[in-house]
Structure 1
Amino acid sequence: MFFFIISILFLHHVSGSDPLFTWCSPGFQDYSLNSTFHNNLELLLGSLSGNISASGFYNTSTGEDPDKVYGLALCRGDINSTICKDCVEKASQDILNNCKSQDAIIWYDLCQVRYSFQMFISMMVYTGKYPDENNQAKNVSDPARFSQVLTYLMNNLSNEAAFVPIKNMFASGEIEFSQKITIYGLVQCTRDISGTLCYNCLNSALGDLGACCSSRESGTVLSRTCNVRFGLSQFFNTSSQYLVVYPTSKGAGGKLKTWMLVLIICASVFVLAVLTGFCIACFHKKQGEDRDDEKSEKMLLQQLATPKSVTITQDGELISSEELVFMSFATIKFATDDFSDSNKLGQGGFGSVYKGVLPDGNEIAVKRLSRKSWQGTEEFKNEIIMIAKLQHKNLVKLLGCGLEGEEKFLIYEYMSNQSLDKFIFDSEKRSQLDWNTCYGIIMGIARGLLYLHEESRLRVIHRDLKPNNILLDHDMVAKISDFGMARIFCENQNTANTKRVVGTYGYMAPEYAMGGLFSVKSDIFSFGVILLEIISGKRSSGFYATKLASTLLAYAWNLWNEGKEMEFVDPLLKAECLSSEVSRCMNIGLLCVQEDPEDRPTMSDVMVLLGSESMSLAQPKKPAFSVGRSIKVDPSLMTTSSVNHIMLSTVQPR
């Protein structure tokens, strides 16, 4: 009881100390005191400590868009509710006093508090932060072995936290480094993410922990959704910990008798023999599976190489396409100058795209899918299935494909003006666009989507429509590309649901991002976002960094409500465009991004509205402000292609 009381007093003392780290995002605009956002923030922060209770975790939101505030509080898993409440209350007050940004987070030893104008619940975003105390820790005498033992401990704790439900995504423990030194570790995730995302976050944090602190006596890495810490003195409640035994440990005394040594060796040899036999059996089984996969790939290759260029449907049936031909790896390699960087056109989530020139002088675009990537294999088969049955002047034409060993290729017609995003988001190329050209591009995208949704033999949902996937030929004719994510619908099927949400934030419909529900109306939403981007010259993703509004959709809606549609138009287009025509397109764009899919028009409706000035337009309701941001994306990919795939059971945009 004495030690328990001392422990509680110690924890209470720590909760009143200075924060480990405070992050007030410099990338977002500051809010004004006494503004609606500020008032909502005060209400939200005031509610966190009162609602966190014994669970040690709470998330909520306050207000309405565009001044809505989202918040989250997390307490360390080994403290009681009283200390938790005190820590969250202090953290809430400190973050309110010290940050004026619309996105901020503060970490204490015993709790963390975060708020944002963006919806972040259920999203794993890793951004490692390092408290100053890391630099004050002393170096250890045997850093190589220390790092090994530390890694073993923290990996065990990560597995416990992520995959043992009773742990509530928190684990602490100790491991013996030597007779005199014990390493203590702790890991924790916020409980709004899945176990897999928790493990991924902890894995990233442990990578940073190893880089910064594995040769030191203590270290801490903090992130939005997880944190990790270790030290040579116990810093957590003993009742929460468990002992991790390092495999090379000798045990107490460090000496073994001869008979014990013999017994251990014999037992080890026996276990090794059993494991070896098991591994051999698994290896043969895997070889069998690999041979089956290889046979199926060879079959596909042989089918593709036949004069009729046969490929396979999703149901295993054969289809023929006279125009789809198989190309050898040697031919493709020669055409792209051995995939030289000078011929590289872009980088996507499943591979790179290169320009090539065939021996007959025809230019091609070659998508080289990532090696040993199940996503690449699925995309490869999917795209062949789609394009073999889809032919339209506003769809990019697939000329052929290649399958050789681990190499998989898709060969398209070469589009000399590359993708739409390079024109509408580039200040120099943007000047080459007049309103008539922009209107032609809009109509081309609409015709392509109408064909996919209603006029082709198949009913196809693209699921990743964005400017990067709209290519432009030498006459600036728009063609939809990249059908790796597309889905075929049955004749009478209207919607489908998936747990594997794929696509690009900024263009995803809210019902799809939130619940995996997709339909033709999902593509309509994406089309509406692109339409508004073409008119404004502003990118939807990343718009939160401007001072105009929280999102591009919010900006468009505000100006529309105020009757200031022409302020939304890119100044480069204003000189030659008809205000009535632009206003009509803006109205259609807002109708396409309505929050309720039922309120969005069909693609045939869009074509009628675009083609007739006399047709009356419905007044749009307040749209879904909010398609959010993706999990950490490499900025270098933003102008060529974006990350197309996330694995989330539930993603909720703002």
Structure 2
Amino acid sequence: MPSFNLNVLMTLVLGLLSLSSLSEAEYRYYVCSNTTSFIPNSTYEFNLNLLLSSLTSNATRELGFYNTTAGSQDPNAAVYGSFLCRADLTSDACQACVATAARETVQQYCPLRKVTIIWYDNCMLRYSNVSFFGNMDEAPRVSLWNLENITDNSNRLTKVLAETITASVSVAADVTSGAKKFATNSFFATKEVNFTGFQDLYSLVQCTPDLSSTDCDRCLRGAIALLPTCCNGKPGARVLCPSCNVRYEFYPFYTRVAAPPPPPTPLLLPPPPASVSRSQGNDDQISSLPTVAIVVPIAILLFLVGCCFFRRRARKKYNVKQQQNVGSEISSVESLQFDLHTIEAATENFSDQNRLGGGGFGEVYKGTLPDGLQIAVKRLSRGSGQGAEEFKNEVVLVAKLQHRNLVRLLGFCSEGEEKILVYELVENKSLDHFLFGSENQVKLDWSSRYKIIGGIA
């Protein structure tokens, strides 16, 4: 009976360990250029699909990094791409993350975009119409941090973090070699130090292995230099760049490799007695063994449950309370601004044939950009009274509110009295057309409406 209980408990322990080690592809951020797009069903889209398929199939490589090209025989339709997985991941976890990134970037985050980079907790995926292999690219930079503050030990955190994460750079970059390493766990380092009492600080640095040691060192130090500005006194933060990334947390977010235990020391045991007398004391000692066999695994089980709980709680808090500080083109007004002549040409000077509808805020027109991308142009009424700067600031804010259930804002135009918003074109119209149009209400059954409510929530 005791051995049966022990086996059951150990099975539960192993199950918890496997559960806590599952690596989910948790999305973090993306940047895709509004100025480069391709036409659906074009040669470029065909090559992009080939590229993403190749990246996904090669994500099982031990290195956790791979770059390739599709359609190189046609320079105008060639696609260059790569992925980088966190070096401590298993090949299965790496492939799962890359597959998720390849699927979601073209379906949800950056459809019809030629230049894209997307980050998840476990991997980064990147592709472009221009080769970036071997280049040290620090832009765009993305800073993410926990909203909570460390009040009592913020100065100590700054000091300890500077010491540990800088030491990790020297290990990862290995500038003394000066060469490209292309080896397992190359350009990757983690470090764990005690912070206060029972609290440990975990840090990680990583570069893409196609860099030189010097470029890796420069990229990581540039990323670390942003931490005091964005994330001073924060209990968790990261800086993401196309060529490198740094991160620290107060929980183990990477897989730690335990050091091999020292060899056991041989013990000199006295020879067993010739006979054992079954006294009352011996009976008590023997009867206590099943109790020990049960209590010890239960204590281990409770300890592991507690670790899993606090680890998941810390990770969830970080996911919910993160903020973004993007030093990239998506947060600059210029990258979102369209020329008025371009809008007029796309809509045939706002012709009635291209008019889709209108309301109290203005008229909406269908248009086609020179690269073939179809857009919806909302020409705001001139009586809004909103200033040019307020309009631009609001546009930049709305452009960051990107979700698969929201129409994507591509940019704006503000010249003279003209204030124009440029959206991606949704051929099937918006939700209100089906909810409130009497001829379309029957097309939405209650199952569909239930899914819509869930999507909105």
After TM superposition, the score normalised by the length of structure 2 is 0.49
Point out which structure has higher relative CO (alpha carbons under 8 A, 6+ apart). Answer: 2
Structure with the higher fraction of residues in strand conformation: 2
After TM superposition, the score normalised by the length of structure 1 is 0.35
